Amino acid sequence: MSHTVNILELIAELGPQTRAEIEKALGLSKSKASALMSKLSKPQATLPKRIYICRYVYDNEDERTYPRAVYDLGDLPDKKRPNRRREIQDSKRRHFEGAVMRVSSVFDLGLPPYTRYRKFSGTWLGQ
Q: At 80, give phi and psi (nearest 5°).
A: -70, 145
pLDDT tens for the chain, residues 1 to 127: 688 899 999 999 999 999 999 999 999 999 999 999 999 999 988 989 999 999 999 887 776 778 889 999 999 999 998 877 777 777 777 666 666 655 566 666 677 766 666 554 445 444 4
Distances (CA, A) of 74 to 16, 26, 27, 50, 116: 11, 21, 24, 5, 53
Tell me the whole-structure pTM to 2 decimals: 0.66
Beta strand 64-73 pairing with 17-18 = antiparallel
CATH class of 3-81: mainly alpha
- How confident is the model at residue 90, as a pLDDT? 74
Positions of CATH 1.10.10.10 in the chain: 3-81
